[in-house]
Homo-oligomer: A and B are copies of this chain.
Amino acid sequence: MAICDSQGYAYNSSGLDSSAIISLKPDQSVAGIPGDGKASSDSIAEIIKLGSSKIDGVLITLPNLPNEFIPGIVERFITAGFETAFCDALKRTSAMEQMFALTPQLKQVKSTYITGAGASPGLLTAAAVLAAQSFVEVQAVDIWWGVGISSWEDYKATVREDIAHLPEYDVEKATAMSDEEVERLLESRDGKLELHNMEHADDLLLELAGVVDSRDKVRVGGIIDTRSSKKPVSTTMTLTGKTFDGKTSSHRFILGDEACMAANVIGPALGYLKRARWLKDNGLYGIYGSTQFMPLMVS
């Protein structure tokens, strides 16, 4: 097991102590937890140095900002000839387009990658693929999520990503904001951000899976409350389509409010990582979307 952040990494061939990781403060690095590891300004290089013989799979849940960040990390693994299974919780369509461009290189190093495997895209997008099966034509896929976090401090990168989706903002502007500026913005909105028509790769993944013939049939939006762990709305995927006998109907997939963002993102991502490993072990290399394969259970 290896884990890394921007300040260092930890590694232990017989596993890391999860309670040590959980008890870390937001400004503490995983480099400090028991195990073989150290502080490093380039922890990805350290992980790559461990070599793919030690690593069955790599879960990439780095911040999504900027767009080039995750694809750039993957390119470093590829350049080093790293042969393993990968999975990410990538969100933006433009970032995912960069990921799919890596298909030939991933195949060359016999690696298998599943992208967009969090909640949205991920769990909810995959549910849309299932829902679509009842219909001969899909008219709309609406994903409307609710997230409640008691404090934005633990989710600084995620909240900045959300701010970047506001009409007056973009990725650069949100990334450059100081903590004080983020706090002032949240203060002016009662701690809530309501987002519409977000650039989420659910559109690309559902087009790729043949569920929609045009990306604009997929809409993603939601509300994040940064002052309460209670969700402001129930996260719901609604797929509307036409059946073979001409009826219009909607299937819905609704997440329970008590399941937090971490459970709905990291759970599916680990399941998809295991599926990516299965695909690799069966000689199927390259990159796939979370809409293409059911995740495997982790335990």
Q: Which residues of A contact B (CB under 8 A)?
A: 123, 126-127, 129-136, 209-211, 240, 243-245, 247-260, 262-264, 266-268, 270-271, 282-284, 291-297, 299
Contact = CB atoms under 8 A, between A and B. Distances in A.
Given A129-B295, A294-B292, A243 B259 contact: yes
A251 B245 contact: no
A contact face: mostly helix, strand, loop, or mixed = loop
B129 A123 contact: no
A293 B293 contact: yes
B209 A297 contact: yes
23 contacts: A123-B133, A127-B130, A127-B253, A129-B294, A130-B295, A133-B295, A133-B297, A134-B256, A134-B259, A134-B268, A209-B294, A210-B296, A210-B299, A211-B297, A243-B259, A243-B260, A243-B267, A249-B257, A251-B253, A251-B254, A252-B252, A282-B282, A292-B294
B260 A251 contact: no
A92 to B, nearest CB: 22
Contacts of A209: 294, 296-297
Contacts of A267: 133-136, 243-244
